Amino acid sequence: MVAPHLIPPALAEDPPQLAAAKAALRQSALLARGTLDPAGAGEALAEIILAACPPPPGAIIGGFWPMGAEIDVLPVLRRLDALGHALALPVTPPRGKPLEFRAWRFGEALVPGRFGTSIPAGGEVVAPNWLLVPLLAFDRTGARLGYGGGYYDRTLAGLPGARGIGVAFAAQEVAQVPTGAHDFPLFGIATEAGFIPTERS
């Protein structure tokens, strides 16, 4: 579980009532995710993604190095690497900016990044066009609750045509995620139990 003091505050653009609703769901989602059994979920997620929503040939994959209780995306990244896809991992910039993705391959060095992340020690800056997006909660419209910094919303909004696939445990689904004007919807959500197309699919 991510320690509460590592979670950036909600986006300033959210009005107080919406910010409070997101904060409440964020804390309950963190607690609930920490109780899930991750055994086998990463491998099942990889099978689901490759069968139901694979990236097109030549896609640059924006992945992430999982931390805490996040679902393990390393099995699918290894499979995509073996298929010849270029991989990139995000570097968290100062508040208010989109993520920067750096090219990376398995075996290359990682160093500690902001908020407990692991980032490439070097690597060319690239623009991914197919992204695995971490989250705390999701609903079937493609709404996603993240950690509160707005980094993926800014990133996806700045990559026209890119597909953002949320990755999570099936149990992280909720009836409705509170959203505002600056929240960017996902193309779909992949879990260990299946792929959920959304209104953008």
Q: Is 105 annotated as a binding residue?
A: no
Q: Strand runs (DSSP E) across 27-114, as ranges?
A: 60-62, 86-91, 100-103, 110-112
Q: Is 108 annotated as a binding residue?
A: no
Q: Is 70 annotated as a binding residue?
A: yes
Q: Is 95 annotated as a binding residue?
A: no
Q: Is 26 annotated as a binding residue?
A: yes
Q: Is 194 annotated as a binding residue?
A: no
Q: Is 131 annotated as a binding residue?
A: no
Q: Is 147 annotated as a binding residue?
A: yes
Q: Is 79 annotated as a binding residue?
A: no
Q: Is 25 annotated as a binding residue?
A: yes
Q: Is 97 annotated as a binding residue?
A: no
Query: Residue positions in the annotated binding site for ATP?
Result: 22-26, 144-152
- In the annotated binding site for substrate, the residues are 70
Residues in binding site: 22-26, 70, 144-152
